[in-house]
Structure 1
Amino acid sequence: MKFKRKTVEDLHINLTPMIDCLLFILVFLLLTTTFTQQSRINLSLPDAQGVPPKDYQHKIEVVVDSSGHYAVNGQALSSKETADLSTAIKQSSQDRRDLMFVIAADAKATHQDVIRVMDVAGQLGFVNINISTKVPSRGY
């Protein structure tokens, strides 16, 4: 007796719907992501009432975090030494003392760390020194 063998059909998996779904998710994530340019150090600025900040194209910004570490124009310094801070500021300023000098210190940073930055800026000859704060939003 001769038995008939079943013919096995080739199995084809259609990946097109899965690729479409993955691309849709990728586009959705790219569209909903916000891109903000902030300093790499997480700061909590102190509150102050005053005029809105001006935007300067050329400025030197020194960030002081709560543990006393410094960053000059977004580049973190490896130590807390005054000499390293002075060298980094000199390199960023390129011997221009008329630039706006902004100190952005964390609300929990010690007074000594902020004064150290102000002292270095004064020794280097900067005259336009500002301390960055955040203006609280008004609930109208």
Structure 2
Amino acid sequence: MKFNRPRINEIEVNLTPMIDCLLFLLVFLLVSTTFNQHSRINLTLPDAQGVPPKNTDQRIEVVVQSSGKYLVNGQALAGHDEVQLSTAIKQAAANRHNLPLTIAADAKATHQDVVRVMDVAGKLGFMNINISTKVPSRGYN
């Protein structure tokens, strides 16, 4: 008697559908991703190394007090509005916009008062605006 042996089919894994699904997901993610770069302001923050300024007589210094009053090269302004500040900086600069302008703000001065000085200096054409930092006590005397 002849018995038929059952045929054993080889098991094979078909990877084509899985690869198709992965490629579809990859294409979908690439299409739905946005590549917008938001504008950023690059800031160079000052280091408080205690280096003395080079020329103290050839610069404009604006002091911002905690009360909101301004001093331009040691001269106090009557008010703290933009017009008076602009006039005082113009007089101190005498049309020399290449002079360094240093802002020395009190620690308790408001951010708005400091930004007002930067805004006025920018409108007047100053390009070299510095913010003074506190020199450590172990630095220069």
Task: Indicate the TM-score class for this superposition, using the shorter chain for normalisation.
Answer: 0.5 to 0.7
TM-score norm. by structure 2 comes to 0.61
Q: Report the alpha carbon displacement of residue 52 of structure 1 after superposing the two structures with TM.
A: 1.2
Q: Report the alpha carbon displacement of residue 51 of structure 1 after superposing the two structures with TM.
A: 5.2
Query: Match of 1:62, SS?
Result: strand
Task: Verify: 1:54 aligned to 2:35, yes or no.
Answer: no
Query: Match of 1:109, SS?
Result: coil
| Whole-angstrom distance in 2 between the partners of 1:65 and 1:55 | 24
Partner residue in 2 for 1:130 = 130
Check the 8 A contact 2:59/2:100 in 1, yes or no: yes
Unaligned stretches of 5+ in structure 1? 1-47
Of the two, which has the highest radius of gyration? 2
Aligned residue identity for 1:49? A
Query: Match of 1:66, SS?
Result: coil
| Whole-angstrom distance in 2 between the partners of 1:55 and 1:66 | 27
1:55-134 equivalences under 5 Å are 55-56=54-55, 57-134=57-134
Aligned residue identity for 2:98? D
